[in-house]
Chains A and B, each alone.
Chain A
Amino acid sequence: MANLNIDSVKERTFDAIVIGSGMSGGWAAKELTGKGLKTLMLERGRDVKHIKDYPTTNLYPWEFPHHGVLPMDIQEANPIVNRCYAFGEDAAHFFVKDKEHPYVQEKPFDWIRGYQVGGKSLMWARQTQRWSDFDFEGPARDGFSVDWPIRYKDIDPWYSYVEKFAGISGNRDGIPELPDGEFLPAYPLNDVESYFSNHVKSNYKNRHVISARCAHLSKPNQIHIDQGRTQCQSRTLCQRGCPFGGYFSANSSTIPWALRSGKLTLRPHSVVESIIYDEKLCKATGVRIVDTQTKETIEYYAKIIFVNAAALNTNLVLLNSTSNRFPNGLGNDSGVLGKYVAFHNYSAHIGAEYDGFKDWTTDGRNPAGGGYIPRFRNVYKQETDFLRGYASGFSAYRFKQHNYDGVGASLKENTVKGDLGPWYVGSHLMGETIPKESNFVKLDPKLKDDWGVPLLSISVDYDDNDEKMKKDYIEQLTEMFTSAGFTNIKPSTNHQAPGLDIHEMGGARMGNDPKTSVLNKWNQMHACKNVFVTDGACMTSTSCQNPSLTYMALTARAADYAVSEMRKGNV
């Protein structure tokens, strides 16, 4: 760093730096600025401003060049991201293309990324469930990973805190394994979903089918209106970005809020190369970035650093932050950094039909997507030959069926004419996977990206536990469907690579013991107290809930602790 004067250093010095601007980074920025900290938020991609930068949001199907279909050259150039359900002509601009940031697959792994302000919070599936002690106590009870250093009581008030601001719709279902939260009105189950819910309640102990809980403003409160958001309009075009702010995203909620404080500096086009560690001060003093437009290397300084680069990229930043004190990556005294990566098993689905409720259907669209079946396997005690369990989606729908035979005037009439078909039902597996040392990420020893940062090498795979769980899901759901009188039951399994669930977690896990974990119970590095990791990298285990809500709560909690420690002079 040549020709830097003292003024320049001052300009580049903040109270806090947040690496990443997505689901958890947005929360870190909101909380830190809210407590008065001058905060720098670094984002490797471009800026995406709420509404203004949602170019497709109000387009009708016929306004897309291919009416929604991605051209084959784009599909063929992007075999990985093309497997993501939301990578279509309306939202492809929010996904990282395969060649834009390559990585090494020691084993097949579909790494789905969103490099822009807001990250993947723009295109997420918006399902939000709390964890319970059945989840936090899992590793200790079942003897895998390490014990979570927190319990439900530690995070409960923080779930409430983030739910009130983000806006979560749901019912108070009173299920111990899926605690209730601060809910806006739920999106109701339709007739067949309700029928199945009642059937399961009467015929199975401790099994439930509930309205999916999701981050949509079914009925906004003042706090949401204050954010500039309005009621969800049931468009279900969320992946394009929502002009109403109907669902929670960092772009619509936390980032504009933080910017309004006047304390936030948002710097897009900034790839974090590493975190700078000062051997004398025994703490991190800042970060080194590469400006992706000028290719310039710049250092920024702060008292505390939040790492929210998205689970695997957080691992990459930490592994690449080496010093004499930390030759194997920042805070990596234990040697577990990059290891015990896990994900969610989404590789099974069941479809069927129901012959009933023929006079009833739905009208409009359900942004929650339907129902949710919380984990019922191995909850109160171990009851199967595999560890842990799975949640499942459940939804019922019907649509008009057309006879597309032949050609000519009759075919043309049949594009409009048609009868409503039967009710179809569908469910998909969301299984917990067990973190293992052998599922890891590391830096490639030779290959580097366009910014001089080593490529991430990923070695993550399914195991026997996942196979047994998948089999059990098919058996149990088939049995439940059969007993409910569903017909034409069609289970299907696939071999989708880990990663396509977009729930990769771990690598910098929390734990009580610095010898076996990277972070303490406050998401604070055991060995470098002014660095906090609050994205998916911190996860000790994965349970089977959709993880974003937990990242949000952990982030708000950690920010509160970090600022109080800073004020006490402890960091």
Chain B
Amino acid sequence: MNRRAVIKNLALVIGSATLLPSCLKNGGTPVVALKHLNINPDQENLIGDVCETIIPKTNTPGAKDLNVHLFVLKMLDDCYTKKDQKAIVNGLVELDNMVQKKYNQSFGNLNVKDRVAVLIAIEESAKKQGKVKVPAGRNTKPQKNVDANPLFAFYWAVKQQTLFGYTTSQYFMTKQIVYELVPGRYNAHFPVKNLKQA
């Protein structure tokens, strides 16, 4: 099999993963096959709900519509060290417990306002206490070291990957901005006012 075929097949595999119906959730079957992360379907769904809270459906598609939450799971599973994954999973558990304690229900059952409040509170205290900077959109270099605090580690990793996945999604790069694979030009002296959305 040549390399192109391998890549194509990989794309098919990922494509099909992203097409799994969401009705599988709560059925005890994982939404996406994970190789390294040891988390249960409820935890996967919690990550999905956090993703959707970060980039919600508005009058345009949200994280779940675009399957960004599955991309985030894939990135957490493939692109972090074991040590960081451990911190991230611990943070996930901590978030779950924290929400249960405070609201007496799961994150997924909170209304949008409460979900946002939970995440904003984490971000605010992370900025005060943590050392990790706010993630930056289309940056293909993932954070090398996640925050030592597991809750912050979880939050920044999911936020980073949600933003990365969303801003590099086909939808975003074709409908929200214009990504040019083949610009065919270089203008060294170009008026800012003529700039298109990019």
* Chain A residues within CB distance 8 Å of chain B: 53, 55-56, 58-63, 65-73, 76, 88, 93, 187-191, 193-194, 233-235, 237, 358-367, 400, 402, 404-409, 411-412, 415-416, 420
Contact = CB atoms under 8 A, between A and B. Distances in A.
A358 B14 CA distance: 43
Interface in B34-91: 53-56, 58, 60, 62, 71, 74-75, 78-81
B107 interface: no
Instruction: List 5 tightest A-B contacts by C-beta distance, closest first.
Output: A364-B185, A363-B190, A363-B187, A188-B188, A68-B140
B168 A72 contact: no
A361 B4 CA distance: 37
26 contacts: A55-B3, A58-B181, A62-B173, A67-B71, A68-B140, A69-B142, A72-B81, A88-B140, A188-B186, A191-B188, A234-B186, A360-B189, A361-B192, A364-B180, A364-B183, A364-B186, A366-B186, A400-B198, A404-B135, A404-B137, A405-B134, A407-B54, A407-B123, A409-B58, A412-B60, A416-B197
B188 A76 contact: no
Contacts of A63: 11
A176 to B, nearest CB: 26
B176 A416 contact: yes
A511 to B, nearest CB: 43
Interface stretch (B93-101, B145-153, B158-166): B158-166
Nearest to A417: B197
B181 A60 contact: yes
Contacts of A365: 183, 186
Nearest to A56: B7
A483 to B, nearest CB: 23
B54 to A, nearest CB: 5
B78 A190 contact: no
Contacts of B4: 55
Given A364-B184, A365-B186, A406-B123, A67 B168 contact: yes
A61 B81 contact: no
Given A364-B186, A402-B136, 4 more contacts: A56-B7, A60-B179, A234-B183, A408-B54
A415 B186 contact: no
A190 B56 contact: no
A358 B192 CA distance: 8
A208 to B, nearest CB: 18
A93 B3 contact: yes
A362 B190 contact: yes
Q: Which interface class (under 10, 10 to 19, 20 to 34, 35 or more) fits B?
A: 35 or more
B192 A69 contact: no
B141 A69 contact: yes
A362 B74 contact: no
Most chain B CB inside 10 Å of its own CB: which residue of A59, A76, A400, A409: A409
Given A191-B188, A360-B190, A406-B123, A65 B14 contact: yes
A406 B3 CA distance: 41
B132 interface: no
B75 A69 contact: yes
A429 to B, nearest CB: 22
A174 B180 CA distance: 36
Contacts of A366: 186, 188
Contacts of A69: 75, 79, 140-142
Nearest to A412: B55
Interface in B102-145: 112, 116, 119-120, 123, 134-138, 140-142
Most chain B CB inside 10 Å of its own CB: which residue of A66, A362, A409: A66
B182 interface: yes
Contacts of A59: 7
Nearest to A189: B188
A415 B192 contact: no
Nearest to B119: A407
B195 A363 contact: yes
Nearest to A218: B186
Nearest to B54: A407
B188 A190 contact: yes
B159 A407 contact: yes
A370 to B, nearest CB: 10
B183 A415 contact: no
Interface in B1-17: 2-4, 6-7, 10-11, 14
B188 A359 contact: no
B187 A362 contact: yes
A72 B184 contact: no
A67 B119 CA distance: 26
B170 interface: yes
B62 to A, nearest CB: 8
Contacts of A60: 170, 173, 179, 181
B52 to A, nearest CB: 10
Contacts of B56: 408-409, 412
Contact of B166 (A189, A359, A415): A415
A93 B185 CA distance: 28
B177 interface: yes
Contacts of B177: 416
Contacts of A362: 186-190
Contacts of A61: 138, 168, 173, 179
Contacts of B7: 55-56, 59
Contacts of B79: 66, 69-72
A365 to B, nearest CB: 6
Given A65-B10, A66-B74, A406-B123, A363 B173 contact: no
B83 to A, nearest CB: 10
A533 B120 CA distance: 64
B78 to A, nearest CB: 4
Contacts of A188: 186, 188-189
A360 B123 contact: no
Contacts of B2: 53, 55
